[in-house]
Amino acid sequence: MLSRVANTLYWMVRYVERADNLARLIDVNEQLLLDWERLDSERLRDFWMPIVWSAGDDVLYTELYGNGHSADVIRFLTDDRRNPNSIVSCLVQARENARTVRDQLSDELWEELNSLYLFLNSKDAEKMLRDDPPRFYGLIRRSVFTFQGIAAATIDRGMGWDFMDLGRHLERADKTTRFLDISTFLPASAPTAMHWNAIVRSCGAMGVYRSLHAGMVEPRKVVDLLIFSRTFPRSVRYCMTRVEHCLHSISGTLQGDYSDNAERTTGQIMGRLNYGVVDEFLSAGLHEALDGLQTQFNIIGDAVFESYVLMPHVIDTSLPTNHSAATMRAWKYQQEQEQQ
């Protein structure tokens, strides 16, 4: 498979997954806030800003809105196209990626993603978001579910599928850690019980949680489920098991061995998840533990890019010399966009 096609399929699914996760989080939080009428505008902003901080988009938000208020945060996360990680921006980028590899997709898959794109650019979408936000976010989530179902039913289980599945589960693992990380940014006055309920519901894990634990939602048990569960499909452990499988399927390397830094880093994460326990994970602090995982996820993403998109001769001839970290990030971003 051409590296350009592999990279495009990988990012198409990552963008769709990213939009779905954000729609889940915003929708659940807005529903829960209906039960907390005592929250004034300032406390509402304190409730929403941790989502921006956990995503690492706080600098851009401040540039665009300053201090802002809760409505600005929701707009920034939902339909502000100046934010490359807003729901609308992600789905626009996903559709653009799909357009460039149209011949690799089933007609049904393209039609579903293109229909969602056309809706987001319509007056109907603006009206629905303004008048009935739960319906707007619900429509996006259902469309993403449909997209995933069509992909599972119509895409050949070859290397293209492996790159799509790799992108989906790496993005999902990252977003699960960021959902959990939101709790570490809450101010002391924030209603933490409500926030932990929002995290569980955002991951679609309330039914699973209740089947395992009676009583109220407890942070330690939530972390155990969302990090270490072997069977829950949004847990970090489950997602990284799929990432490991996809990487070895693409490279042909046997399990237990590695051929590049992506496989090596994934193996290190799996060792920690397979043999670790929640108390050990939390010993250094929740934020520190989650930040460590997110750093490793970024290493895996960079290694996938370098191994399968930047061929050796490209690296030798076009990699900028004497480059700063900022230059490298800009160069990699440019290379990724050129591959789309």
What pLDDT, on the 0 to 100 scale, is given for residue 215?
85
What pLDDT, on the 0 to 100 scale, is given for residue 339?
45
Answer whether 198's CB lies under 8 Å from 28's CB.
Answer: yes
What pLDDT, on the 0 to 100 scale, is given for residue 311?
58
What pLDDT, on the 0 to 100 scale, is given for residue 340?
42
Task: Spell out the per-residue pLDDT of the chain, length 340, in tens.
Answer: 578 899 999 999 999 999 999 999 888 888 766 655 555 556 666 677 888 888 888 899 999 988 777 788 889 999 999 999 999 999 999 999 999 999 999 999 999 999 999 999 999 999 999 999 999 999 999 999 999 999 999 999 999 999 999 999 999 999 999 999 988 887 666 667 778 888 999 999 999 999 999 888 999 999 999 999 999 999 999 999 999 999 999 999 988 889 999 999 999 999 999 999 999 999 989 999 999 999 999 999 999 999 988 754 444 444 454 555 555 554 555 555 544 4
Phi/psi for 81 (5° steps) reads: -75, -10
Q: Among 144, 191, 300, 322, which residue's Cα sits nearest to residue 236?
A: 300
**CA 186 from centroid of its chain's CA atoms:** 21
Answer whether 225's CB lies under 8 Å from 232's CB.
Answer: yes
> Domain locations in the chain?
1-154, 177-309
Q: Is 102 exposed, middle or buried (0-12, 13-18, 19+ CB in 10 A)?
A: exposed
Annotate 300-335 with DSSP letters as a single string. HHHHHHHHHTS-HHHHHHHSPSS--HHHHHHHHHHH
Largest CA distance in the chain: 61
The token duo for 147 is 């997209």
- Other CB atoms within a 10 A radius of the CB of residue 334 amount to 10
**CA 242 from centroid of its chain's CA atoms:** 15
pTM: 0.88
Answer whether 9's CB lies under 8 Å from 308's CB.
Answer: no
Q: Is 96 exposed, middle or buried (0-12, 13-18, 19+ CB in 10 A)?
A: middle
What pLDDT, on the 0 to 100 scale, is given for residue 155?
95
What pLDDT, on the 0 to 100 scale, is given for residue 69?
79
| CA distances, 35 to each of 70, 72, 122, 217, 275 (Å) | 16, 21, 32, 17, 40
